[in-house]
Amino acid sequence: MRCDLSLYLVTDAALCAKAGLEATVEAAVKGGVTLVQLRDKHASDESMIAQAQRLKALLAGTGVPLIINDRLNVAVASQADGLHVGQSDTAVLEARQALGPQAIIGLSINTLEQLHNAPVALLDYVGLGPVFATVSKQDHAQPIGFDGLATLASACPLPSVAIGGLKAQHATQVRAAGANGLAVISAICGQPDPYQAALAFRAP
Ligand code: TZP
Ligand code: MG
């Protein structure tokens, strides 16, 4: 596996505003986050590139990759480690061609049909979900629950990370369903102590 999906932090600028995005990410990585995705639906490309560069500097030497959500141009300009795309974002083929063979590329999956149509040879991992309804993503797809997660994970030829409404107490069930890890926003971003919040996800 090219990346450790165990505890995948997706950032939210608004939730992190009080503590600061960098301070939140730094604490969360100390607490065990294995991969960071910069996600910002509102920032300009310029400010997202600058934010990505700050996070890259912060993550240097930690072994934790930085992935950009949706925006291929931001991933290219910031020389991030990869890109995560949704079903209606940049095509995976275009992303792979632009970012090269070493980049980590992930795709969101909600249904078996999407999984069967996924260009698995061009992908490093898939995100499966949302497991539960969540206020962290507007207009999210139908929640799949642990049963749906197990169905998708068992049919999935790639490493997978579950997402959507997940808290530390769900870690055991997520792994039992066959996903390689958990991706979270609100269980870490905006928490009073992001270090402890990340630590709480450690496998028993
Ligand atoms: N994609 C599917 S659900 C989701 C995304 C980005 C939001 C997850 O946020 P939270 O706070 O962990 O439910
Ligand atoms: Mg998207």
Known active-site residue 78? no
Q: Which one from 39, 71, 96, 160 is the annotated catalytic residue? A: 39
126, 203, 140, 130: which is closest to 163 by C-alpha? 130
Distance 65 CA to ligand 1 centre (A): 19
The pLDDT of residue 1 is above 60: no
Known active-site residue 54? no
154 CB neighbour count, 10 Å cutoff: 9
Which of ligand 1's atoms lies nearest the C-alpha of 184? 12
Q: Which one from 6, 78, 96, 137 is the annotated catalytic residue? A: 137
Tens digits of per-residue pLDDT, 121-140?
999 999 999 999 999 999 99
**What would be the CATH architecture of the domain defined by 7-202?**
Alpha-Beta Barrel (3.20)
Residue 194 to residues 61, 92, 200, Cα–Cα distance (Å): 20, 32, 10
72, 71, 65, 66: which is closest to 41 by C-alpha? 71
Residue type (1 letter), 139: D
Identify the pLDDT of residue 2: 66
Identify the pLDDT of residue 58: 97
52 CB neighbour count, 10 Å cutoff: 22
Distance 138 CA to ligand 1 centre (A): 9
Identify the pLDDT of residue 106: 98
Identify the pLDDT of residue 204: 65
Domain boundaries, the chain: 7-202
Identify the pLDDT of residue 3: 87
Residues lining ligand 1, CB < 6 A? 10, 129-130, 134, 136-137, 140, 163-166, 184-187
Tens digits of per-residue pLDDT, 108-122?
999 999 999 999 999
Tens digits of per-residue pLDDT, 9-28?
999 999 999 999 999 999 99
**Mean local confidence (pLDDT), 144-155:** 98
The pLDDT of residue 170 is above 60: yes
Distance 155 CA to ligand 2 centre (A): 23
> What are the backbone dihedrals phi and psi of residue 84, each rounded to the nearest 5 degrees, phi first?
-115, 130
ipTM greater than 0.85, yes or no? yes
Identify the pLDDT of residue 121: 97
Which of ligand 1's atoms lies nearest the C-alpha of 86? 1
Identify the pLDDT of residue 127: 98
Known active-site residue 137? yes
Identify the pLDDT of residue 202: 87
Residues 6 or more apart in contact with residue 30 via CB below 8 angstroms: 195, 198
The mean pLDDT value of the chain amounts to: 96
pTM, two decimal places: 0.97
Identify the pLDDT of residue 99: 98
